[in-house]
Chains A and B, each alone.
Chain A
Amino acid sequence: MKARAWFEPGAGLILLVLLALPWARHGMEATMWRQMLIQFPSWLIVGGLLAGAPLERWRPTLRAWNAHGVAGLTAASVVLGILMVPRVLDLALYRPEVEVAKLASLLWAGAALRVSFRPAGVILQSFFLGGILAMMATVGLLYQELPQRLCNAYLLDDQVRLGESLTGFAGLIAVAWMIHAGRVLSREGRERDAPIVAPEARR
Chain B
Amino acid sequence: MLRTTILAAFFCACGLVVFNALTHGMQVFTDEGARRLAVALDPVVPPDVEVDGPAIARARLGELLGGSGQVTIVDFIYTHCTSACLTMSRSLQLIQLRLDAETDATGGDRVRLLSISFDGARDTPDVLARHAASWSTNPLRWHFVRVIDPAEQELLLRRLGVVVIPDGNGEYEHNAALLVFDADGRLVRIFDVEERQLALDYARHLASERAREEGS
Q: Does residue A42 face the partner (Cβ distance < 8 Å to B)?
A: no
Structural contact, A67 and B22, CB atoms closer than 8 A: no
Q: Does residue B91 face the partner (Cβ distance < 8 Å to A)?
A: no
Q: Which residues of A have CB within 8 Å of B134?
A: none
Instruction: Give Cα A65 to B173, complex, Å.
Output: 49
* Count, A-B residue pairs, CB within 8 A: 77
- Say what secondary structure dominates the interface of chain A: helix
Q: How near does chain B come to A134, taking the closest CB pair, in angstroms?
A: 17
Instruction: Give Cα A155 to B23, complex, Å.
Output: 22
Q: Does residue B175 face the partner (Cβ distance < 8 Å to A)?
A: yes
Structural contact, B12 and A74, CB atoms closer than 8 A: yes
B7, B11, B30: the one contacting A86 at CB < 8 Å is B30
Q: Which residues of A have CB within 8 Å of B29?
A: 85-87, 150
Minimum CB distance partner of A154 in chain B: B165
Structural contact, A152 and B32, CB atoms closer than 8 A: yes
Residues 117-133 of A contacting B (Cβ, < 8 Å): none
Q: Mark A115-159, 1 if CB is under 8 A from B, else 0.
A: 000000000000000000000000000000000011111111000
Structural contact, B31 and A90, CB atoms closer than 8 A: yes
Instruction: Give Cα A87 to B36, complex, Å.
Output: 13
Q: Footprint of A on B, CB under 8 Å?
A: 1, 3-5, 7-8, 11-12, 14-15, 18-19, 22-23, 28-35, 161, 163, 165, 167, 173, 175
